[in-house]
Structure 1
Amino acid sequence: MLGAQRKAHLQEILRRDGRVVAKDVARALGVSEDSIRRDLRELADAGELVRVYGGALPVAPADRPVDARASLATESKARVAQRAVELIPPGSTVILDAGTTTLAMAALLPRRSDLTVITPSPAVAIAVAQQSEARIVMIGGELSRHSMVAGGSLAMEAVQHLAADLFFLGVTGIDPRAGLTTGELDDAVTKRALAARSSRVLVLGSEEKIGVASRFPVLDLDAVHGVVADPLDRNPVLAELPGTSGATFS
């Protein structure tokens, strides 16, 4: 089988199964794993997939500029946002990450003054101010035009002086093997720092994020306390997410 044919075959497996396991494909085609890994590397370089240990996953649909993500899986995000807001105890200090799901959460917050909301997102901060009487703490720094989130050295310095009861983490990929991933390196660093300053971390898992991966790892699933999943999502990958500290709230 020619290289172009192998690549087409790999793409078909990815569409059909949602993942490629290199050793299985090599065995089925009677070629070396090195050949399959080379094909996967070339497909990844072309933006067709994301390489992970042992194979590949689809590119995360959420790995787009923030304005392009606004119309992606909106109903699923709304259900996740509603469930997430229900998990906020009275009097909490919570971190709302940047993203369209946290923006939906901001619009659902109770009109209480006993909450403190920390966020690196100007859009989320404004939405919280419009909806709730919560105290708002903004994390300053350089604003990414891709994600519209503050990051860089100034943001990292600010994060070191913060503490939160609960962090609602936004990522673009959630997979039991690849873990939690995002499309920007600086964003991944900021997310890890925020997680380290939080007593509990819950990941927002709308349907387009399950079983896909982005380029940059954020955290392993066993480093967070749960995934707030869409209760109507029937993706079989959800059943593979680890229990206990990685339990799925649905």
Structure 2
Amino acid sequence: MLTPQRKQLILKQLAEEGLVLSKALSERFGVSEDTVRRDLRELATEGLLQRVHGGALPSSAATVTFAERQHLQSDAKRRIAQKGAQLISQGQVVMIDGGTTTSELITCFPQDLRITVVTHSPSIAVGLAQHPLIEVVMIGGYLYKHSIVNVGAGALESISRIRADLFFMGVTGVHVEAGLSTGDFEESRIKRALADRAAETVVLASPEKLNSASPWVIGDISLINTLVVDAQTDDRLLAPFNHHGVTVVKA
């Protein structure tokens, strides 16, 4: 079997099963595990999968630039954001991560919502500037332009002084075994720090993020309490999250 044919079959199996294992692939194709690992390495270089120990997972489409992500699954993001907004109660301190789904979230806030929002995203802060009752606390730091969020030691220091009721975490990958992940190391540390300072963490997971992975791990799936997904998401895909104690809410 030629290498291009083998790669196509690997991608087909990955799309159908959500996971491929190097040993099983080597047995299936009658080639060495080194050959399979080379195939996976080349496919990962093309951005077609995310390598993990022993195999590979689907690569998240949400790792492209902020502007490009705004056009991904926009209808689903809107529904998920609307459901997420319903999880907020009056008077809470709510930390909001950067990202296109959280940008949708703040547009769903009613005019009578009175909360304090803490964010390291200039876009989120500006988006709430005209809201009549929401107070905004801005976390400073070094601007990571890819995601338009502040990162670095200064941001971590500010986060350590917060106690929040809710944290809406932005991720690029959500996987039961691979955990929560994102495309940048600095961002992954900020997200973990924010989650550590919240009583409850919520992930708004648009379809391209589910059962996929990115290079930098934020934490395992137990880090979150609630996962909000599109109503059309297959229940079989969601069952493992429920099994791990995550509350799944369909939008």
Q: Do they superpose with TM above 0.5?
A: yes
Count of residue correspondences: 250
Asked whether the equivalents of residues 159 and 193 of structure 2 are also in contact (C-alpha less than 8 Å), the reply is yes
Summarize the Cα distance change of 1:101–1:13 in structure 2 as closer, same or farther, 3 Å threshold.
Answer: same
2:89 match: 89
Distance 1:244 1:112, change over 3 A: farther
Report the Cα distance in structure 2 between the residues aligned to 1:162 and 1:150, rounded to whole angstroms.
16
Paired residue type of 2:239: A
What amino acid maps onto 1:231 in structure 2? Answer: A
Q: Percent identity among equivalent residues?
A: 40
Q: After TM superposition, give the deviation of residue 19 of structure 1 in Å.
A: 2.9
Structure 1 match to 2:120: 120
Give 1:6's aligned amino acid.
R
RMSD of the TM alignment (CA)? 1.9
Give the distance between the partners of 1:31 and 1:130, measured in 2 at CA.
61
CA contact (8 A) 1:223 1:245 kept: no
Q: Which contiguous aligned blocks of 4+ residues in structure 1 show a shift greater than 6 angstroms?
A: none
2:40 and 2:3 map into 1 onto residues whose CA distance is 11
CA contact under 8 A between 2:80 and 2:205: conserved in structure 1? yes
For structure 1, the residue ranges without an aligned partner over 5 or more in a row are none
- Contact in 2 for aligned 1:226/1:245 (Cα 8 Å): no
5 Å matches for 1:166-185?
166-185=166-185
Greater Cα shift, 7-16 or 55-64: 7-16
Shift of 1:110: 2.5
| Counterpart residue number, 1:58 | 58
3-state SS of the aligned residue for 1:90? coil
Match of 1:99 in 2: 99
3-state SS, counterpart of residue 88 of structure 1: coil
How far has the Cα of 1:120 moved from its partner? Answer: 0.8
Greater displacement, 16-25 / 76-85 = 16-25
SS at match of 2:212: coil
Q: Which moved more, 1:39-48 or 1:133-142?
A: 39-48
TM-score w.r.t. length of structure 2 = 0.92
Q: Within 2, Cα distance between the matches of 1:35 and 1:182?
A: 28
How far off is 1:130 after superposition? 2.6
1:243 aligned to 2:243? yes
3-state SS of 1:95 partner: strand
Q: Which amino acid aligns with 2:83?
A: R
For the residue of structure 2 that corresponds to 1:109, the secondary structure is: coil
Offset at 1:75? 0.7
Summarize the Cα distance change of 1:228–1:21 in structure 2 as closer, same or farther, 3 Å threshold. same
Q: Distance in 2 between matches of 1:8 and 1:86?
A: 42
Q: How does 1:150-165 map to 2 (within 5 A)?
A: 150-165=150-165
Q: 1:39 to 1:215 in 2, by over 3 A?
A: same
5+ residue gaps, structure 2: none
Q: Residue 109 of structure 1 contacts residue 128 of structure 1 at CA under 8 Å; is this kept in 2? A: no
CA shift digits 1:187-216 (9 cap, x unpaired): 001000001111111111111111111111
Deviations 1:23-65 (A, max 9, x none): 3222222333343223212322332211123321222111111
Equivalent residue number for residue 130 of structure 1: 130
Say yes or no: does 1:27 pair with 2:31: no
Correspondence for 1:220: 220
Q: Quick one: which amino acid aligns to residue 199 of structure 2? A: S
Check conservation: 1:206, 1:230, Cα contact below 8 A.
yes
SS in 1 for 2:177: coil
Question: What secondary structure, in the 3-state scheme, does the structure 2 residue paired with 1:232 have?
Answer: coil
- Relative distance call for 1:73 and 1:131 in structure 2 (3 A) is farther
* C-alpha separation in 1, matches of 2:17 and 2:246: 23
Cα distance change of structure 1 residues 129 and 243 upon mapping to structure 2, 3 Å threshold: farther
Within 2, Cα distance between the matches of 1:244 and 1:186? 27
Q: Read off the aligned partner of 2:179 and give its amino acid letter.
A: G
Would you say the 8 A contact 2:226–2:247 is kept in 1?
yes
